[in-house]
Structure 1
């Protein structure tokens, strides 16, 4: 396999994530240093933590559904990319997102 095209994409993703991490840390530092209401700062940080957990849940459910879709494609012995194969994978992603929506509604 030829992995050379993935190098710039991976580099871009790493740089983007690094910038996002630095900006998030700086915003948190400024919030704490602003001597604002501690309950407000705590509420904002707890909200961010809840959003991170829900994001992890969403990715976990979506990746699990996609893995099941790939398992179905492999189990059926489909070797070529056809509209039916793509439909199974996209359907699995859709079901994963719907499952996340249902679970997140119960968690709130």
Structure 2
């Protein structure tokens, strides 16, 4: 594939994902507003806010762990001197992602 064709394709994908993310945020915010307007229970409002906060913390933890394990995998690939994409490189990256997911699962169970 020509490198000149990659820029418009990547730009299109980034814009599409950005729009999708913004729409998702707006829909979730509108849903929360409607739900909180419908109920008058202070405890329910606090529970919703706490669950959102906990979910955001767990999401940050998950992506942090996955980013670190992928960075370690890229470091191993660089140290090994692998310059071509082959089965070993793909296996290292997938293995790092899997290891990070398992590590997150273990930590999330301990924190919950």
Give the TM-score normalised by the residue count of structure 2.
0.89
Contact 1:69/1:92 (CA < 8 Å) preserved in 2? Answer: yes
Q: Does 1:33 align with 2:52?
A: no
Structure 1 counterpart of 2:48: 44
1:73 and 1:85 in contact (8 A); partners too: yes
Question: Which structure 1 residue ranges, 5 or more long, are not aligned?
Answer: none
Q: How many residues align?
A: 108
TM-score normalised by length of structure 1: 0.92
* Deviation (angstroms), 1:31: 2.3
Gaps of 5+ in 2: none
Alignment root-mean-square deviation, CA: 1.2
Q: Which has the higher helix share?
A: 2
Q: Which ranges of 4 or more aligned residues in structure 1 deviate by more than 3 Å?
A: none
